[in-house]
Structure 1
Amino acid sequence: MNSETATSALGVAFVVVGFAMLFVPGFASVFDANELFLSLIGLGFALQTVRVVNARRRTPYEQAETADPEIAQELPTPGDDFDDLMDQAAAVRYSGDQRDAVRERLHAAAVAVVVRTEGLSREQAVERVENGSWTDDPYAAAFFTGEISGTSVLQRVSLFDRSRSQFERWATHAAREIAELSEDER
């Protein structure tokens, strides 16, 4: 029997005797609780403590392996797909599909904003968007009506920007007006 086993057995014996004295008060009267007896019990607990500490010191240190954290997923900024569609519609001359998609998305957004801000039915909002009365911006209204009304000749001349097409200018005005109406609602 090695010293660790003997020390463990002695420690267990002392613990059992201690519990027996605690739960059976008559058993405690068998032992005289003098200084020598208490010193032996303390020595037993000290030996057990030393054994446990030494066993722990000899045990190799192992660190748990953690899984790699999730890699942050790159998400697009809201509206990036519309900006890309708008760039395609503006870049390609006569790009009917992209322009139709831009027009449909802006029309749906304008109708939704008019319904929310003015409390109209969907049919009434569609009518207001299509006749241009949904906004004070003549260029935003012209995007859906196809014609500018209520502007002076000087305003029309200042609109001649050779770097962008009429479609892009009017679509930009409409998108900006929809965004402003939506922000005013909040």
Structure 2
Amino acid sequence: MRAAEAVGVAALLAGFLSVFQRGIAGLFDFSYAFVTLVGVLAAVQGIRYVSARRRTEYVSLDLGDPEERYVVDVPGAEVDDWLRRVDPRSRGGSRFRNRLRERLREAAADRLVATRGYTPAEAEAALADGSWTDDAAAAAFLAPSLGYPFRTRVRVRLRGGSLFRHGVDRTVTALREEGDGS
């Protein structure tokens, strides 16, 4: 053992003995001077450790790159993109309108099969004649041969909206209600 360690161990043992034996033959009493001396020694030791730490080199740890997140498409993002691209004045817009209508028609057929127990053929027949919903705009959207009611067309045009967008909104609402069992 080094000398400093030996002195430290001896001081520790003397401290324990003085506490338990109420002083070693009067050598240590708990007077004001003794407690002050112990406090000064503790402060000197603290300053020594702080000083030693200041001379130490800092070492940083490289944690590497964080794990990359796997990017997953948000459900419905493709449909939202198609809705943004729908423009009644462009040829490309009609392609997106047709895709969206087909996608919603497939979703409606799947929903009717799942919730009402229809066969796929019965679901297609219900979509074709509009009997799958009480909402005339949703029925007309999925079966264009039915046509929108006159009042709906006038109301949407007066509000400056698009019949296609109105049909999408009403169809999605009808499908949601169909799934809720309302």
State TM-score, norm by structure 2: 0.58
Does the Cα contact within 8 Å between 1:10 and 1:44 map onto a contact in 2? no
- Cα distance, 1:79–1:105 mapped onto 2, change above 3 Å: same
Match of 2:99 among 98, 101, 105: 101
After superposition, the CA RMSD in angstroms is 4.9
Indicate the residue corresponding to 1:83 in structure 2. Answer: 80
Indicate the residue corresponding to 2:154 in structure 1. Answer: 158
1:90 match: secondary structure: coil
Q: Runs of 5+ in structure 2 lacking a partner?
A: none
If asked which structure has higher relative contact order (CA below 8 Å, sep 6+), I would say 1
Deviation, structure 1 residue 133 = 1.0
Match of 2:42 among 40, 43, 49: 49
Match of 1:138 among 122, 136, 139: 136
**Partner amino acid, structure 2, of 1:128:** A
- Which aligned pairs between 1:60-71 and structure 2 lie closer than 5 A? 60=54
Deviation, structure 1 residue 105 = 1.7
CA distance in structure 2 between the aligned counterparts of 1:96 and 1:56, rounded to whole angstroms: 78
CA distance in structure 1 between the aligned counterparts of 2:41 and 2:129, rounded to whole angstroms: 93
CA distance in structure 1 between the aligned counterparts of 2:173 and 2:46, rounded to whole angstroms: 70
Q: How many residues get paired? A: 166
1:85-112 CA-partner distances (Å, limit 9, x unpaired): 1242334237553233212221133234
Indicate the residue corresponding to 1:175 in structure 2. Answer: 169
Deviation, structure 1 residue 141 = 1.3
CA distance in structure 2 between the aligned counterparts of 1:66 and 1:183, rounded to whole angstroms: 54
Does the Cα contact within 8 Å between 1:143 and 1:174 map onto a contact in 2? yes
2:10 aligned with 1:13: yes
Deviation, structure 1 residue 180 = 4.5
CA distance in structure 1 between the aligned counterparts of 2:143 and 2:76, rounded to whole angstroms: 24
1:147-174 CA-partner distances (Å, limit 9, x unpaired): 22694xx53762784977xxx6245324
Q: Runs of 5+ in structure 1 lacking a partner?
A: none
CA distance in structure 1 between the aligned counterparts of 2:44 and 2:156, rounded to whole angstroms: 92
